[in-house]
Amino acid sequence: MRRLFILLLVILVLPGCARTFKTSSEHATPIMTPPVAPIHLHSVTLNDDTRVDDYYWLREKGADEVTTYLEAENAYTAAFMEPTEALQKTFYEEMLGRIQETDQSAPYRKGDFEYYHRTEEGKQYRIYSRRDPGKAETEEVLLDMNELAENRPFLGLGVYEVSPDGGYLAFSLDETGFRDYTLQIKELESGEVLPERIEKVKSFAWASDSQTFFYTVDDDTKRSYRVLRHRLGDGGDDPLLYQEDDERFRVAVWRSRSGKYVFRGSFSHTTSEIGFLGADDPTGAWRLVAERKQDHEYDVAHHDDEFLIRTNDNGRNFRIVRTPVATPGPSSWEEVVAHRDDVMVEGLDVFEDFYVLSEREQGLPYIRADHFGGESHRVAMDEPVYSIYPGANAEFSTDEFRFRYESLTTPDSVFDYDVATRERTLVKQVEVLGGYDPANYQSERLWATAKDGTKVPISVVYRNGTPRDGSAPMLLAGYGSYGYPYPTGFSHTRVSLLDRGVTYAIAHIRGGGELGKPWHDQGRMKHKENTFTDFIAVAEHLIANRYTSSERLAIMGGSAGGLLMGAVTNMRPDLFAVVVSLVPFVDVLNTMLDDTLPLTVGEHEEWGDPNEREAYFRMKGYCPYTNIGAHDYPTMLVRTSLNDSQVMYWEPAKYVAKLRAHKTDENPLLFRINMEAGHGGASGRYDYLKETAFDYAFVLTQLGVAD
């Protein structure tokens, strides 16, 4: 094991990617060596186990030593990547050239107006607007994010809710990327922003009078824990309506599509509890739909004098029941759609005359529509791999359901579907400029066999003519946590890879939700290792079937997908040539032991509580940071943001520092930190493209794919 004790005092970027390292002799020696973080011994003992954490000090955000190290890493990365700047520019121009820079979303009806957002060439952000139906000349700009973003390096939009009478807009902004949203109210007729400013707002719902609203606020760990009520113009403290004291749970408020009720929900990773209130009686008493019961999840929609409920009380994949509003408890539940072992009910949308289920079967999503009392049917899809999900459906009284469809080869498409006639109308398809033709590309659904014999789905896309002899480079992505299915949608940026002969694949591993709730269960808690071994099995399957080779295989994952990257490279560093790890959750054990951090306590139901001995040693067994060893690692790029509130910047910083001190190879290891963004990276659309161009340039140059 090698330990390096060099303290970088100053690093400067010189032409030609050289570095200068100042020594006491006053001479500057040009070198191309990476920064080395100093070691400050820190240890902790738990469950009779002592762990040494040499880089614990990197948690001190804003400390001079920390800032110096982060800036040194950025400088080293910039110098290393300087020879790729022309390629980055080429990627950026290609990707930008496929975008209709001045464009408009498909308008949707809500009340007396059509709402939409649009973009203008050269501007980073959306402009949110409305108009009289079908009359473009009546446009009213509600929120111009470009004006709000002036002199701000980051801007994110949270709440965006127009009042029922159309007179007010509630909106919230995050100016740092740390998910601290401030709520404001704009009077739309005058354009005046009212004096109300409420900090740390996460969710919002209007009452029927358009003067009263409900909102939730975060505690110091960014857990949304309180529900309050406010009336426009009122000063003083807003009345506290509910406080969630169980730290596993977060609260949210929302309004039913019918407009009749406001809901308040408490949600953990495994359990739900929902209360409701008449929207026209904002000071009235709240009632519960069903009291919380461990491992019972449900959600609620309103129809006439009933609630329709999606519930997993009778099976992990959920069923649909109805219950009277007057007596909503489980004793009154009547089954509408039975639980099915092979079909996951992911969502429920209810309208005046029909309802729609979002389903998932054999890894593929479907939409099922049903007129009340009528025959249900699925909306047919043709491609082997695709994504389909509800669009903007703001109106309760309608004959049509709006959905969005896209695939690995078909751009994002908005359809209005007439539930009675079963006819669909294409409202808008995102235009891909530059001569893109989907017929030039091929997508496939494959199945790999996991370590325990489980079949794991894989989505693959490539340009026609890409060789199947093991020589093609590949980018393989994965996530596998929280029950989230990895999306199989279109990417206009990905075309730049496909056109250079790169095959793109997605590993739909356990821990995600591709095959229903049991698929999630088999990749969390004590079964978490399945997530990693599934990914390895997918990579081996693709190599065995000559889609690529280990020397030509790059892998990519972000957040919990970054945990995946760290775990599989510790387990099988020989299997991958290049690794891109974005905002990676790699210091699992230390983070899950720190209940002062955002997400920690609630996520004990996803990962386990390491204060418990069994969970501690299980998590220690796969934690990427803990298991870094003295052996060769693939070429790696690790990217994060200073203001990330979901995976703190110090996790990837510590990870890179420890890798540098332990790995035995000379493969490049780059660490890039955006000093002005959060978990999602840059907020402006042009800045986001530049980050993507950077990643692609790194991957392709390291795989030896030249223009």
Q: Quickly state the pLDDT bin for 32 (edges 50, 70, 90).
A: low
**Single pTM value for the model:** 0.93
> 84-95+442-703, what's its fold?
Rossmann fold (3.40.50)
pLDDT at 464 over 80: yes
From the list 269, 508, 604, 679, the catalytic residue is 679
Q: Which of 22-26, 31-35, 112-116, 586-590 has the lowest mean pLDDT?
A: 22-26
pLDDT at 326 over 50: yes
> What pLDDT does 235 receive?
85
DSSP letter string, 610-649: TTSHHHHHHHHHH-TTTT--SS---EEEEEEETT-SSS-T
User: For the segment 113-163, what is each residue's pLDDT rounded down to a tens digit?
Assistant: 999 999 999 999 999 999 999 999 999 999 999 999 999 999 999 999 999
> How far, rounded to the nearest angstrom, does the alpha carbon of residue 120 sit from its chain's CA centroid?
26
> What pLDDT does 707 receive?
59
Tokens of 679: 């978990």
CA distance 54 to 40: 5
> What pLDDT does 236 receive?
84
Portions of the chain given CATH number 2.130.10.120: 152-296, 301-432
User: For the segment 202-231, what is each residue's pLDDT rounded down to a tens digit?
Assistant: 999 999 999 999 999 999 999 999 999 999
From the list 644, 645, 683, 695, the catalytic residue is 644
User: For the segment 248-283, what is each residue's pLDDT rounded down to a tens digit?
Assistant: 999 999 999 999 999 999 999 999 999 999 999 999
Tokens of 145: 């994010």
Residues 303-311 have a mean pLDDT of: 98
Residue 76 DSSP SS3: helix
Nearest to 312 by CA among 337, 275, 277: 337
pLDDT at 572 over 90: yes
Geometric angle at alpha carbon 268, from 262 and 270, rounded to 5°: 115
Residues 441-451 have a mean pLDDT of: 97
> What pLDDT does 29 receive?
33
Residue 263 DSSP SS3: strand
Tokens of 667: 């493969």
pLDDT at 471 over 50: yes
CATH code of 301-432, in short, is 2.130.10.120
Q: Please say if 644 is a catalytic residue.
A: yes
Nearest to 579 by CA among 555, 603, 607: 555
User: For the segment 538-569, what is each residue's pLDDT rounded down to a tens digit?
Assistant: 999 999 999 999 999 999 999 999 999 999 99
Please give the C-alpha separations between residue 700 and each of 94, 264, 681, 694, in angstroms, as whole numbers: 15, 48, 21, 10
pLDDT at 347 over 50: yes
Residue 69 DSSP SS3: helix
Portions of the chain given CATH number 3.40.50.1820: 84-95+442-703
Tokens of 166: 């159309």
From the list 105, 256, 491, 559, the catalytic residue is 559
CA distance 158 to 240: 22
Please give the C-alpha separations between residue 235 and each of 169, 238, 440, in angstroms, as whole numbers: 19, 8, 62
CATH code of 152-296, in short, is 2.130.10.120
Per the prediction, the chain carries an average pLDDT of 94
| Cα torsion through 545, 546, 549, 550, rounded to 10 | 0
> What pLDDT does 22 receive?
26
Q: Quickly state the pLDDT bin for 26 (edges 50, 70, 90).
A: very low
Helix, strand, coil shares of the chain, percent, nearest 5, are 20, 35, 45
pLDDT at 536 over 60: yes
Higher pLDDT among residues 87 and 10, named by residue: 87
pLDDT at 3 over 90: no
User: What percentage of residues in the chain have a pLDDT greater than 90?
Assistant: 93
Residue 122 burial by Cβ neighbours in a 10 Å radius (0-12, 13-18, 19+): exposed
